[in-house]
Amino acid sequence: MSTIIGGVTVKDPIIPTTKKRVFNGEYSAAINGGLLMDGTGSHWKWTLDWKNMTPAEYNTLMAVLDVESEQTFSPPEESTVYNAMVLQDTVSVDARIADGAQFYDVTVDIEESS
């Protein structure tokens, strides 16, 4: 399986990726300590890490990470296609030169949006 963002196949991040459940709502305690829950539902959030990307791989990835609106996303370990958004304030890039070549490390959070 491949990593596809916005219909574009990008280099696979480091596998396994970290996938967390995010709940849009609140758990609170009733007077007797029992749990009450209100929420509009939960969805997935991935933290993806790429290491040692070439400039071409990096450019392909950044083109889809720069999209601020909802797009499709297929994580590397599964075939499900999610609607998701790139959380722009989580994008982190380390650029370095090794043996005369340019390499990039990228970290980003992607969250299921609908």
Partner 1 sequence: MDSSWYDRARILKCKLEIMWDGVTWTDETSRLMDAGGSVPHSLIWRDLTGAANYKPATCSFNLRSPSNRFSPFNASSPLYPYISDSAGYGTPVQFQVAVRDTGGVWHWETMFTGYIDRLTLTSLKYNRVKIDAIDNSHPFLQDKRSTIILQNQTPADWINYLTSVMNISTGDKSIATGMNVIPFVWMDNENIMSEIKETAQTEGGIVFFDRTGKFIFYGAESFVTDPTLTTSQHNFTVSNMREANADWDWQSVYNGILVPYSPRRIGSAVEIFSLSDSVTVNAGDSKTITAKHTLPALVVSSSIEKTIVTAGGDDISGSVSVAVTSYAQYSEVVITNNHASDTANVKKLVLSGVPLVGRTSEQIEKTVVSAVVGDPATRRKILPAHDNPAIQTKEAADFLASMLVDRLAVLRGEYSVQSPCLPDLERYTRVTLTDSDSGFSEDAFITGLNWSFKKGVFDATYKLISAENWVPDTGNYFQIGVDILGGGKVAFY
Residues that bind partner 1 (CB under 8 A): 23-26, 28-32, 34-41
Spatial contact of 65 and 46, defined as CB atoms under 8 Å apart: no
CB of 78 vs partner 1, minimal distance in Å: 23
Q: CA-CA-CA-CA torsion for 91, 107, 20, 71, nearest 10 degrees? A: 50
For partner 1, which is the closer residue by CB, 33 or 100? 33
Judged by beta carbon, residue 31 or residue 56, the one nearer partner 1 is 31
Q: Which is nearer to partner 1, 69 or 79 (CB)?
A: 69
Question: Whole-number minimum distance, CB 40 to partner 1, in Å?
Answer: 4
DSSP labels, 5-16: ETTEEE---SSS
Q: Which residues contact 58 (CB under 8 A, 6 or more apart)?
A: 104, 106
**Shortest Cβ 103–partner 1 spacing (Å):** 37
